[in-house]
């Protein structure tokens, strides 16, 4: 076993960045909630696999227990009970994703929720947050990010483009084609992607997005891509003026997704329906199954205030601000060190 090399300059910079994030939210009228990482029921995210363990009572009788894949359900219960604006930096866990420059099974997630706001205000928060981190690191220079030889200007306004506009601009696919399953499947086949009877709209939509759109996002400044087709936004509100789209956005730098935001769905009945569909999807794809969290549904029933929120990958942010090629370099104990066999 080789001795472990700690990259202390990067780890210290990480601590500075995490502190800068906390300072930013305290200054902006948020308080930091603390919710559990070990829970009886995790989030029902259909395409994520969970970590399951057992909680033993004093007679060693087991109960199912899970590590969270995000603190969202707990934070929404606090919002429904009247917490006001809250944020949190916590560990989250996702299984069966392998280890890559952008993934570690345990990662740090930043979530914040703004009461009485919609996704547009979260866009502004993102601009101000990144600027504030840059200012903390380099107080006497313009808010820029230097990453792997490229310079990104963090000054607002960032580039803003809707999903429809991006499909038109980068893949020459118009909105009608995008939203019509047979048309999109045909367009996708024409572009050389594999399409067969089992191929779904969601698969070709994401495959075109990943291959032809994502690499163009966040080239010289961050890009906010917004208004997703409604099927791509399980926890978000539909856009009032066009219910085929949801009030969701993501922001990107250098083709790297950094955060995913919604105007939060407050309708408990619709939320419950979507969770049931997601549970079906988990069953269909052979993932670990568990019950719907009715504490979460009941909280929505009691009244989740109009709010918007976002989840941001802290390790990815640190990777960018410390100019490291992968998130593993930003961690004192990356999974690749703890389980060297994972690299193969």
Partner 1 sequence: MRKGMFVLHHNEPHQVISHEFVSPGKGSAFTRVKLRNVLTSKMMDFTYKTTEQVELAEVETRELQYIYQEGNNFVFMNPRTYDQVEVSGEVMGSDHNFLKEEMICHVQFYNDQPIGIFLPKKVTLEVTEAEEAVAGDRVTAPKKQAKLETGATIAVPIFVKTGDKVVIDTSTGEYVSRNN
Q: How many CB atoms lie within 10 A of CB 187?
A: 21
State the Cα–Cα distance between residues 86 and 335, nearest whole angstrom.
30
CA of residue 208 relative to chain centroid, distance: 20
Enumerate the β-bridge partners of residue 243. none
Q: CB-wise, 7 or 28, nearer to partner 1? A: 7
Using CB under 8 A as the binding rule, whether residue 209 contacts partner 1 is answered as yes
Using CB under 8 A as the binding rule, whether residue 202 contacts partner 1 is answered as yes
Using CB under 8 A as the binding rule, whether residue 95 contacts partner 1 is answered as no
**Helix-helix angle 8-27:119-137, to 10 degrees:** 130
Considering only residues 206, 273, 298, 302, which one is a binding residue for partner 1 as defined by CB under 8 A?
206
Using CB under 8 A as the binding rule, whether residue 192 contacts partner 1 is answered as yes
Task: Classify 120 as helix, strand or coil.
Answer: helix
Using CB under 8 A as the binding rule, whether residue 220 contacts partner 1 is answered as no
Helices (H), 233-267: none
The answer to whether 171 and 164 are in contact (CB under 8 A) is no
CB of 5 to partner 1, least distance (A): 8
Q: CB-wise, 24 or 251, nearer to partner 1? A: 251
Using CB under 8 A as the binding rule, whether residue 40 contacts partner 1 is answered as no
Considering only residues 125, 127, 250, 329, which one is a binding residue for partner 1 as defined by CB under 8 A?
250
CB of 192 to partner 1, least distance (A): 6
State the Cα–Cα distance between residues 175 and 168, nearest whole angstrom.
7
State the Cα–Cα distance between residues 72 and 68, nearest whole angstrom.
9
Considering only residues 19, 53, 54, 100, which one is a binding residue for partner 1 as defined by CB under 8 A?
100
Identify which range of 33-41, 45-53, 122-130, 138-146 contacts partner 1 by CB under 8 A: 45-53
DSSP state of 325: S
Cα-based angle 140, 144, 148 (whole degrees, multiple of 5):
125
Site residue total, partner 1 (CB under 8 A): 33
Cα-based angle 190, 191, 192 (whole degrees, multiple of 5):
90
Give residue for tokens 């057992």. Answer: 54
Quick one: tokens of 192?
């050389």
CB of 138 to partner 1, least distance (A): 31
Using CB under 8 A as the binding rule, whether residue 215 contacts partner 1 is answered as yes
Considering only residues 6, 198, 240, 341, which one is a binding residue for partner 1 as defined by CB under 8 A?
198
Q: Which of 28, 9, 99, 111 is nearest to 68 (CA)?
A: 111
State the Cα–Cα distance between residues 242 and 79, nearest whole angstrom.
27
Torsion of CA 200, 228, 154, 219, to 10 degrees: 40
Using CB under 8 A as the binding rule, whether residue 38 contacts partner 1 is answered as no
CA of residue 262 relative to chain centroid, distance: 10
Greatest extent of the chain over all pairs of C-alpha atoms, in Å: 63
Using CB under 8 A as the binding rule, whether residue 170 contacts partner 1 is answered as no
CB of 141 to partner 1, least distance (A): 32
Considering only residues 128, 199, 266, 288, which one is a binding residue for partner 1 as defined by CB under 8 A?
199
CB of 281 to partner 1, least distance (A): 9
CB of 92 to partner 1, least distance (A): 14
Identify which range of 31-39, 230-238, 315-323, 328-336 contacts partner 1 by CB under 8 A: 230-238
The answer to whether 7 and 329 are in contact (CB under 8 A) is yes
Residues of this chain, 254-293, that bind partner 1 according to CB under 8 A? 257, 260, 285
Q: CB-wise, 31 or 47, nearer to partner 1? A: 47
Quick one: tokens of 20?
């800068």
Considering only residues 35, 37, 78, 103, which one is a binding residue for partner 1 as defined by CB under 8 A?
103
CB of 215 to partner 1, least distance (A): 7
Contact residues for partner 1, defined by CB under 8 A: 2-3, 45-48, 97-98, 100-103, 192, 194, 198-200, 202-203, 205-207, 209-211, 215, 232-234, 250, 257, 260, 285
């Amino acid at each position: 076993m080789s001795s472990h090399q700690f990259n202390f300059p990067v780890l210290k910079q990480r601590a500075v960045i995490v502190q800068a994030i906390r300072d930013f939210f305290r200054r902006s009228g948020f308080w930091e909630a603390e919710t559990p990482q070990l829970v009886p029921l995790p989030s029902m995210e259909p395409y994520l696999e969970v970590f399951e363990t057992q909680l033993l009572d004093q007679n060693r009788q087991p109960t199912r227990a899970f590590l969270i894949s995000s603190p969202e359900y707990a934070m929404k219960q606090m919002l429904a009970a009247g917490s006001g604006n809250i944020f949190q930096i916590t560990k989250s866990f996702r299984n069966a994703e392998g280890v890559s420059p952008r993934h570690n099974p345990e990662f740090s997630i930043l979530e914040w929720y703004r009461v009485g706001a919609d996704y547009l205000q979260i866009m502004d928060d993102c601009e101000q947050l990144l600027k504030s981190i840059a200012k903390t690191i380099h107080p006497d220079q313009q808010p820029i990010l230097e990453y792997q030889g490229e310079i990104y200007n963090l000054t607002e306004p960032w580039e803003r483009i809707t999903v429809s506009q991006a499909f038109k601009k980068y893949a020459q696919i118009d909105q009608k084609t995008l939203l019509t399953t047979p048309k999109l499947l045909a367009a996708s086949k024409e572009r050389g992607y594999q399409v067969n009877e089992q191929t779904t709209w969601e698969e070709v939509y994401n495959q075109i997005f990943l291959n032809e759109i994502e690499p163009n996002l966040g080239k010289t400044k961050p890009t906010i891509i917004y208004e997703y087709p409604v099927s791509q936004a399980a926890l978000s509100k539909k856009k009032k003026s066009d219910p085929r789209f949801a009030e969701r956005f993501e922001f990107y730098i250098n083709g790297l997704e950094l955060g995913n935001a919604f105007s939060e769905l407050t309708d408990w009945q619709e939320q419950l329906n979507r969770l049931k569909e997601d549970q079906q999807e988990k069953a269909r794809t052979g993932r670990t199954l568990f019950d719907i969290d009715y504490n979460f549904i009941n909280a929505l029933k009691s009244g989740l205030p109009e709010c918007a929120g976002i989840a941001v990958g802290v390790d990815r942010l640190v990777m960018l601000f410390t100019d490291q090629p992968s998130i593993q370099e930003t961690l004192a104990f990356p999974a690749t060190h703890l389980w060297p066999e994972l690299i193969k």
